[in-house]
Amino acid sequence: MIYYKHFIKHAAVICALLFPLAVQAQESMPPAFGCYRSFTKEPEMARIFSQDLGVKTRCFFASHTINSIGGAYCEYPPIWVGEGKYEFEHLDAQMEEMAWSNPDGKLICMIDLDSPYWMTRKFHFDSFSDVSTAVSNPTWMKMMLRWMKDFITYAETHYGDRIAAYILSGGSTSEWIDGVRGYSTRSKDAAWQRWCKEKGLDYGPEPPSAYSLGQASFEDHLYDPATEAKKIDWWRFHNGVIADAVLTFAREARTLLPEGKQIGVFFGYYFISRPASFGHMEYERVFASPDIDFFISPGCYSNRPIGEGSGSQTMFRTAMLNGKRFLHEIDFRPHDYGEKMKGQGVVDVRAWNSREDDIAGNTREACFALVNHASYWWFDMWGGFYDDPAVRKRIGEMEKIQERFREDLSPSAAEILYVGDPQSAYYVREADPLYGVGAGNLRNRLAVLGAPVDSYSFNDLRKMDLSQYKVIMLPQTFLIDPDRAAFLREKVCTGGRTVLFTYAPGICDGRSLDAARVRTWAGVPFESGKNGISETPMDGWTSVYAYDAKAFTREAFRTICEKAGVHFYVDDCLPVFANGRLLSIHCKEGGLRTVTLPKKVSKVVDLLSGEVVAKRKKSFQVEFASPDTRLFEIIP
């Protein structure tokens, strides 16, 4: 993503994107990188990462915002103190510390596009919690754009040689998340009316109430476009206005930056519990922007314990299909963090329980990014995450491996494809558990099958050669209009493939809901599908369906995929990440395991130990520790 060692020399160098194998068109992405980040100053730790561990890129946040636990995001005083009034000496002080802690590296600067405290009083709302209202207000947008431009102008004039990229951060937790769950305001009402007029819609003067958004006519799960079109369009507007703002900020920032300097944003969170109200469902449009180079997301919060499969909250492969890099945020608390931070107001969301967990878990996260051609940063959130020398040693080892494979774009080895559908998400009522069960929870079970899994968005499938996938899962494709139906029959539901559905596939044609349509894709009537998992031979393909996505346990998934001919690397239900050159396996419980490759290879090298574990073999045995994460190079 950032050319941190050769940024100036090779800023114009672009490598052809051969990933994934299924994509016909070649995209372009800059190489991956590693980075250190913290909300706190942490000069000593930053210097260790830069000088001792080889992590030469550092991210800093020039923030004026109070964070979600009531403290300041930035330990330096605010720069923006009034309309058109700046105290840039505070940025100078921050940059002076950066020069000491990271003297020969590059910097990524997060720009705070949330309202400072004085601005919340001026507008009577806070963009941190209610970003949809803020970006709907033309005066707020004008003021925020001026601040952003003035900041970039100063930063580029004084520090442009050191800053390699800017991250445009706004909304809740600086991730463009909206937290008001559909509630409207005067600014948003006016923007809604403008939006409806542009679309030729007449829903009257009032938007739908937050109470009505929490109710749906079909089993209290799905909105019916015949009677609840206003609710569906409200969520389209709500997500669209946030996407429009992100695109506007990026477009305006781009005009101030030289060629090769990059722009990133946190966006595209699909694997979450409230997709429509969070405000990211227009991510495909944002990912396609020529003004944005990379996207960021933390590791999935519901899949963090040792032995689980990790993963991202975002549809990062959709971004990569658009030639963008994805940055995986590694922000996992070490096992002793709660004790360290006791009494300091920091919430303990510990995922790990021992020093061994810390090492295996951080290795898993770095391997997930490495195998998936992503960048990553070590987020030392409030400091103290990487005090353990053993953890730092492993980080240094992973940085050396990443340096070696930085520009590698070996094709995905996955034969299982999970398909997200942001268009169908608009039909699911606000905060309905149906979405979480079919999105993040289902994906989490897929992550521990013993075989790799790819995730793309429905519209991506039109750009791809799907021949490598033996199982395709469309768990939330409720919207199947005639165009989608024709495409599915031509390219997805064909070739002897197994296609999986949950709840009500195709119930909506864009104009109405009809449960009778479900049988077309599920192979069984909607009502009878409530009895567990059904498997139905169709015309040249097999439909596997369950009304309740919870029926698809990891064991059930594995059985379905084995029957479809998917290759499994291990006999256990374990997380496996694999491409054409790299294989990573994570486990909670150790022991001797047999690893089976799709075909015989010349050599297999354990990249962390340097040991050659196999020569001219298709399978080999490895002794795993408890817990462990192994990373192998596969040499054909």
> How far is the CA of 306 from the CAs of 246, 357, 455, 550, in angstroms?
35, 7, 22, 22
Do 504 and 512 touch, CB atoms closer than 8 A? no
Two tokens at 68? 């979600």
What dihedral do alpha carbons 351, 364, 23, 480 form, nearest 10°? -20
Q: CA–CA distance from 23 to each of 17, 27, 317 (Å)?
A: 9, 9, 11
Q: Any idea which residue has 């050159």 for tokens?
A: 581
Q: How far apart are CA 226 and CA 307, in angstroms?
A: 45
SS3 call for 158 = helix
- Both structure tokens of 575: 């997380």
Tokens of 318: 């959709």
| Strand-pair category, 34-37 with 27-29 | unpaired
How far lies 573's CA from each of 78, 365, 552, in Å? Answer: 49, 18, 14
DSSP state of 579: B
Provide the CB-side half-sphere exposure for 504 (13 A, CA). Answer: 23
Per-residue pLDDT, 256: 98
pLDDT score, position 512? 98
- Token reading at 414: 């996955």
End-to-end alpha-carbon separation of the chain, Å? Answer: 27
Residues ≥6 apart with Cβ < 8 Å to 541: 493, 494, 495, 496, 497, 498, 499
10-residue mean pLDDT series, the chain (636 residues):
36 30 44 89 96 95 87 92 96 95 94 96 92 97 98 98 97 94 91 96 93 95 98 97 98 97 96 92 98 95 92 95 95 86 62 93 97 96 94 97 92 97 96 85 94 98 97 97 98 98 97 97 89 95 96 95 98 97 98 97 97 96 98 96
Only one residue has tokens 């993040």, namely 440
User: What pLDDT sits at residue 342?
Assistant: 65
The set of residues, in sequence order, having a beta carbon less than 8 Å from that of 610 and lying 6+ positions away, is none
Check: CB of residue 51 under 8 Å from CB of residue 101: no
- Sign for the CA dihedral angle at 490, 492, 494, 500 comes to negative
Joined together, the tokens standing for residue 197 give 């007029």
Token reading at 330: 């590694």
| CATH code, residues 416-563 | 3.40.50.880
- Indicate the SS3 state at residue 562: helix
CA torsion sign for 221, 224, 225, 228 is negative
Beta bridge partners of 472: 417, 499
φ/ψ of 218, rounded to 5, equals -95, 105
Q: Which of 442, 455, 439, 394 is nearest to 577 (CA)?
A: 455
* 216: DSSP letter: -
Global pTM value: 0.93
Q: Is residue 246 exposed (0-12), middle (13-18) or buried (19+ Cβ within 10 Å)? A: buried
